[in-house]
Structure 1
Amino acid sequence: MMGTSILSIPWGIKQAGFTLGILILIFTGLLMLYCCYIVLKSPKAIHFSATLLQLRSTRQLSVTYVDTSDWEFPDVCRYYFGKFGQWSSLVFSMVSLIGAMVVYWVLMSNFLYNTGQFIYNYAHNASVSNSQFGTNGSDKVICPYPNTDPGGNVTIVALYLGNSANDTSDVSTFEHWWSKTNTVPFYLVILLLPLLCFRSASFFARFTFLGTISVIYLIALVTLKAVRLGFHLEFHWFDPSQFYVPEFRLLFPQLTGVLTLAFFIHNCIITLMKSNRHQENNVRDLSVAYLLVGLTYLYVGVLIFVAFPSPPLSKDCIEPNFLDNFPSSDVMVFVARTFLLFQMITVYPLLGYLVRVQMMGQIFGNHYPSFFHVLALNVLIVGAGVLIAKFYPNIGSIIRFSGATCGLALVFVFPALVHMISLRRQGLLRWPSVLFHSFLILLGVANLLAQFFM
């Protein structure tokens, strides 16, 4: 569940306001947990459903059993809503998976660029320092786009040791061939496109433990940075300054969009829980998972937000990827980027495999119809990642739009409708349940619409 969205949580809290951001994170996590619980229980609700039939001579209970042992949530949607439910759930599942792959491509381009920049600077004895407007000390914090800072308080200048013409020529040549948006996204194609064409993704599944290591390292990094930077919060309600920290902002739907994808596991939770040895503990384990993920998001988001040095900078400088607020010369951040880059290189083919299995299985009835079918699909996916990384590398917006879109169907609408229909067939549906689950559907619609106005 916990993927790249963790990097955007501090930015989301900034958009919502400090207090409101914390409340929204907790509230959204609870809602997502409940909807995921509905999805997890939906196959059993079909399997054990009973319909009362009014017969001519006598009343008796006719129980209809359906084998749902191999069902996924799209199959549940097909059972209740026919072909429309099956195909619409597939489309929204593709939105979430391909959206995640696009975010991965943008982040991999970012991490690869900064890793190459660090290695180049180290090999050429080059140093990067802040100008008079930057923060001082060993733990420097930067504002990559100073125009977003109301105080205009930071500018980054690269100082290269050595003044010969050859040095200047080498730097310009390196910048020409090592550009975050113009060249690096295309270099990834050479590595990742062949990996996507593997028939099986079992080899890459062996490296999923790197995700746990990356999260642990990120938590350690955030903790150390917060200790060194200290806390910077100024709550001036009646006399706000340019460094005033708002507790409530109207841009809060941007955080709800990010959190919808950050807590999203609904399209594969049934498959994951099938491997649980003690099926009676599924609800408990699911709740513990959401608790741990929510606490991690809360810890990272709050610490980065409160430790961001304001003054001299402004909280508005916090980037959708909070690692971008540290210079490429930062060794600890360099290690984090390297960890995350290698992890994403191994996870990206897994996501592509899920896309292939779901899409090819539905369309052709075969997960690997032919090499050329798979190649064409992978070229389209990779092309989308390259184009976004080149022209719109804003992971915050990508995450919130894809999260709100897939969340509308797979988190709010379909689970709520499935639950109400199941209760109605069992004769257990009551008005409070109708009102609550209808409210969930309205929340999903509002969450998506709000992304276009914020």
Structure 2
Amino acid sequence: DLIRNYKLIIKEKNQQSDSDSERQSSTSSPDLYSSDCGEPMIFEQEICFSDSECDIENSQNRTSNKQKRQNKLENARKKQLSYNSITMKNDDYLFEKLDQSLLNEVVSENSKLLSTRLIKNNSQSSFINFETTDSPKNSSLVTIFAIWNTTVGSSLLAMAWGMGKAGLFPGIVINLIVMTICLYTAYVLLKVKEKHGPIGENFEVPELCRLLIGRWAEQVSKVFSLVILIGSDIVYYILMSNFLYNFVVFIYGYFNEVGNHNPNADTVQCPKEILVVNKTHLVQSVVPSTPFYTIWNLYSTVPLILAVIMFPLLNMKSPTFFTKFNSLGIVSISYLIIFVAVKSFVWGVHLDDWSGEFHIKSTFCVLSGTLTMSYFIHNIIVSIMMQNKHQKSNGRDLTIAFILVSFTYLFLGAAFYIAFPLKKTCIEDNLLNNFSKQDVMALIARVLLFFQLFTVFPFVTYMLRGEIMSCIKLIFGKERHGEFSYTKTIIININIVFICLMFACFLPKIGTLIRYTGALSGLIYVFVMPSLLKMASLRKENSLTFTKGFLHVGLIILGALNLISQFFME
């Protein structure tokens, strides 16, 4: 079979060559095969089918090119030996006798001539599949920290608040359970892509759904990817408004309220006791009635001013400039962890009733919804892991990354919850709100997070805009709907900013937004689609059993219950 496939490649190559190469091929073809022996002489002598091949033969002294060819051949041999249909002993003999430069040149020149049947049905054919794309460059360590940096986000600020909703020890258990489920479903997506996705191509969840489930599943996946992106934009906008407000108030108070500014004062506060809750919005009763505080209002003017600042940046055709500041994410998250560690050490342990922390609270579903968002990386996990240099270690690297993420959440959430000196019900969904504007360490955290979100928000909006155009094209089936134009960009950006502005003014509760967004998008990306893809893959391999189907259907039901329960939590 191997010889027959290479004869097919050579024949198709000769048909597409010019008249000179055809004459050369016809001249040398009688010598290719010997009538006295059963083996083709292509394995016994070196032959150049074209000038480019001859050039490669003459430049074999170049160490780098030779090493690449040897690596490709070695990978091909490993893949070849893995197929049950061609495990005969003479395969090793063919590979040993095959001239390396000729093999690699023929494959690289004629990879586009291969039929779809030979590429996709590799389990029924002995032909070797080679990846023509560039090899991944990221080491396992870089891949692990890329997953950690991408996964750990704004929900880190709400982790202690979530612990308070579930109880300390039940919260730790729920954290580990949700982490395990999200890790498993992310690994399922990687294995399904590995088995059924095209080699070397980026196939995320929507493409895998179209391939194995149907077009309807692709459309559902794309729609719910919009939910996770718009939810992220809203949360980022609320946090930016909060950080900008507190930073300006700190500067104003430092220069204009010298007598009232006391850096040594107790900076821990309980916002629930100083805020009057209205049915429509929150009113700060302790804010001085000065012209400055009338103009600089957290729930009206600040979000509006932020919209004026951000809107021009959102209309850029490409947000590549903002990707240069990705390192701010690691800096801000690292500082936040140090900040909580220092504050917890200074406060000490403030947990009087340890036995009560073993009982699960009725609002524990608040934490499960929040954690579904916290561990959400399923819409881009395939792209991240494709850049891993060690593809065989994807499962190990993914597991290590999720363990690091879980440790980060547990450390920050549990440490802050245990050490918080006031009533645990005072813990805010944004833990920085528990510190006064005079706290310098909290101010630094706010500034770092503000600049991080200031660079992330345009990039997320760019992805959201692209997904919206992609969904429009998918629904209406016209290519022109997905093309870039400044008119479409401005219209979409106006709607996005308006939605974010309304939430920042009337519902500035990131905990509520995170848990609803996480439960809704997680239902599709964490529970439903990975389970359906896994069952479709097992069915295609004729290995779907009742037990496996029951377990994956149970995952879907669990995700649905997680979403439904959010509507019953106060």
**TM-score with structure 2 length normalisation?**
0.68
Instruction: Choose which of 214, 218, 240 in structure 2 pairs with 1:82.
Output: 214
Hey, what does 2:444 align to over in structure 1?
335
Equivalent residue of 1:145, what SS? helix
Give me the whole-angstrom Cα distance separating, in 2, the residues matched to 1:110 and 1:339.
Answer: 13
Does the CA contact (< 8 Å) of 1:127 and 1:158 recur in 2? Answer: no
Instruction: Tell me how far 1:82 sits from its aligned partner.
Output: 2.2
Instruction: Tell me how far 1:352 sits from its aligned partner.
Output: 0.9
- Please give the residue correspondences for 1:135-146 in structure 2 after superposition, counting only pairs within 5 Å: 138-146=265-273
Hey, what does 1:325 align to over in structure 2?
434
**Residue 222 of structure 2 corresponds to residue 93 of structure 1:** no
Segment drifting more, 277-286 vs 248-257? 277-286
**Residue 307 of structure 2 corresponds to residue 210 of structure 1:** no
Instruction: Tell me how far 1:345 sits from its aligned partner.
Output: 0.3
Instruction: Choose which of 348, 365, 383 in structure 2 pairs with 1:230.
Output: 348
In structure 2, relative to structure 1, the CA distance for the partners of 1:43 and 1:332 (3 Å cut) is same
Which digits, 9 at most, give the CA deviation of each residue in 1:262-310, with x for residues without a partner? 000000111112222222222222111111111000000001101111x
Give me the whole-angstrom Cα distance separating, in 2, the residues matched to 1:218 and 1:286.
Answer: 24
Instruction: Tell me how far 1:98 sits from its aligned partner.
Output: 0.6
Hey, what does 2:51 align to over in structure 1?
none
Hey, what does 1:359 align to over in structure 2?
468
- Please give the residue correspondences for 1:190-269 in structure 2 after superposition, counting only pairs within 5 Å: 190-235=308-353, 247-269=359-381
Unaligned runs of 5+ in 2: 1-150, 277-283, 474-478
- Please give the residue correspondences for 1:363-382 in structure 2 after superposition, counting only pairs within 5 Å: 363-364=472-473, 365=479, 368-382=483-497
In structure 2, relative to structure 1, the CA distance for the partners of 1:68 and 1:83 (3 Å cut) is farther
In structure 2, relative to structure 1, the CA distance for the partners of 1:195 and 1:117 (3 Å cut) is same
**Residue 504 of structure 2 corresponds to residue 389 of structure 1:** yes
Does the CA contact (< 8 Å) of 1:199 and 1:368 recur in 2? Answer: no
Instruction: Choose which of 169, 172, 184 in structure 2 pairs with 1:19.
Output: 169
Does the CA contact (< 8 Å) of 1:92 and 1:406 recur in 2? Answer: yes
Q: CA RMSD in A?
A: 2.3
Give me the whole-angstrom Cα distance separating, in 1, the residues matched to 2:211 and 2:259.
Answer: 62
Rg larger in structure:
2
**Residue 453 of structure 2 corresponds to residue 303 of structure 1:** no
Which digits, 9 at most, give the CA deviation of each residue in 1:323-382, with x for residues without a partner? 100001100000000000000000001111111222213424476521010111111111
Give me the whole-angstrom Cα distance separating, in 1, the residues matched to 2:190 and 2:259.
Answer: 53
In structure 2, relative to structure 1, the CA distance for the partners of 1:261 and 1:342 (3 Å cut) is same
Hey, what does 1:400 align to over in structure 2?
515
Does the CA contact (< 8 Å) of 1:323 and 1:333 recur in 2? Answer: yes
Instruction: Tell me how far 1:137 sits from its aligned partner.
Output: 6.6
Does the CA contact (< 8 Å) of 1:128 and 1:157 recur in 2? Answer: no
**Residue 424 of structure 2 corresponds to residue 315 of structure 1:** yes
Instruction: Tell me how far 1:147 sits from its aligned partner.
Output: 7.7
Q: Could you tell me which amino acid in structure 2 is paired with residue 271 of structure 1?
A: S
Give me the whole-angstrom Cα distance separating, in 1, the residues matched to 2:261 and 2:360.
Answer: 35
Instruction: Choose which of 404, 407, 410 in structure 2 pairs with 1:292.
Output: 404
Give me the whole-angstrom Cα distance separating, in 1, the residues matched to 2:374 and 2:529.
Answer: 19
Instruction: Choose which of 502, 505, 527 in structure 2 pairs with 1:412.
Output: 527
Hey, what does 2:296 align to over in structure 1?
178
Does the CA contact (< 8 Å) of 1:43 and 1:68 recur in 2? Answer: no
- Please give the residue correspondences for 1:266-277 in structure 2 after superposition, counting only pairs within 5 Å: 266-277=378-389
**Residue 158 of structure 2 corresponds to residue 8 of structure 1:** yes
Instruction: Choose which of 61, 79, 102 in structure 1 pairs with 2:234.
Output: 102
Does the CA contact (< 8 Å) of 1:308 and 1:315 recur in 2? Answer: yes
Instruction: Tell me how far 1:78 sits from its aligned partner.
Output: 1.4
Equivalent residue of 1:349, what SS? helix
Hey, what does 2:453 align to over in structure 1?
344
Unaligned runs of 5+ in 1: 48-65, 131-135, 150-155, 160-167, 238-243
Which digits, 9 at most, give the CA deviation of each residue in 1:85-143, with x for residues without a partner? 1111011111011101100001000000001111110111346689xxxxx97552100
Give me the whole-angstrom Cα distance separating, in 1, the residues matched to 2:168 and 2:260.
Answer: 32
Give me the whole-angstrom Cα distance separating, in 1, the residues matched to 2:258 and 2:296.
Answer: 16
**TM-score with structure 1 length normalisation?**
0.85
Give me the whole-angstrom Cα distance separating, in 2, the residues matched to 1:107 and 1:322.
Answer: 11
Task: Report which structure shows greater RCO (CA 8 Å, sep ≥6).
Answer: 1
**Residue 181 of structure 2 corresponds to residue 31 of structure 1:** yes
Aligned residues: 406
Give me the whole-angstrom Cα distance separating, in 2, the residues matched to 1:172 and 1:299.
Answer: 41
Instruction: Tell me how far 1:67 sits from its aligned partner.
Output: 5.6
**Residue 306 of structure 2 corresponds to residue 188 of structure 1:** yes
Q: Could you tell me which amino acid in structure 2 is paired with residue 146 of structure 1?
A: E
Instruction: Tell me how far 1:68 sits from its aligned partner.
Output: 7.0
Does the CA contact (< 8 Å) of 1:253 and 1:451 recur in 2? Answer: yes
Give me the whole-angstrom Cα distance separating, in 1, the residues matched to 2:362 and 2:368.
Answer: 12
Q: Could you tell me which amino acid in structure 2 is paired with residue 192 of structure 1?
A: M
Does the CA contact (< 8 Å) of 2:204 and 2:383 recur in 1? Answer: yes
Q: Could you tell me which amino acid in structure 2 is paired with residue 190 of structure 1?
A: V
Give me the whole-angstrom Cα distance separating, in 2, the residues matched to 1:176 and 1:368.
Answer: 44
